[in-house]
Chain A
């Protein structure tokens, strides 16, 4: 079993960099995927502690990745990020099992607090 990891999925390298700077990686690894296909490969063997997932990506969309993630790892919290019209996207993401939703632009500090909260709610033997 490798260290717990938080998975960031976004095709925009600068957003991934912002999220990498935001998350302190204390007690867990921060792993990045630049598209949905890569993200699903990374979670094949071990469920992530948490996923931060962009909604609009080329290739496999956030919608497809969320549906597949929740099928194979239903307990993994998924935070969806979107830069599109939030109301409609939020309803669809929540219906597919997303745990929380942030519209871009988002506050990195609020996102960090949310990630910390989700990770602290994990069972004791799974906490980073």
Chain B
């Protein structure tokens, strides 16, 4: 791996960490709410939050994979 490749990889690792950590917070709290709240409307809201965050995570994964491939 060249020095430039190493710097690019480190940058992508940092970016993955900075993007995935807040997504983990959203997904995690939404899942706990989904399982622990009793009000159906609140539970449904938690499901929507979790599913939207998981879509965002998929997008981040795709973007990072494309960046690594280049």
Q: A interface vs B, CB < 8 Å? A: 12, 14-15, 18, 21-22, 56, 82-85, 103-109
Contact among A56, A83, A109 for B24, CB-based, below 8 A: A83
A interface footprint on B23-59 (CB within 8 Å = 1, 0 otherwise): 1111111011001000000000000000001100100
Contact among B12, B21, B29 for A104, CB-based, below 8 A: B21
Q: How many residues of B contact A (CB 8 A)?
A: 23
Contacts of A15 in B (CB 8 A): 21, 24-25, 28
Known: A85-B12, A85-B64. A105 touches B27 (CB 8 A): yes
Contacts of A107 in B (CB 8 A): 27-28, 31
Known: A84-B13, A85-B16. A108 touches B21 (CB 8 A): no
In the complex, 27 of the A-B residue pairs with CB atoms within 8 angstroms, ordered by the A residue number, are: A12-B21, A14-B25, A15-B28, A18-B24, A18-B28, A18-B32, A21-B32, A22-B32, A83-B16, A83-B19, A83-B20, A84-B20, A85-B13, A85-B16, A85-B64, A104-B24, A105-B20, A105-B24, A105-B26, A105-B27, A105-B28, A105-B53, A105-B54, A106-B27, A107-B31, A108-B31, A108-B32
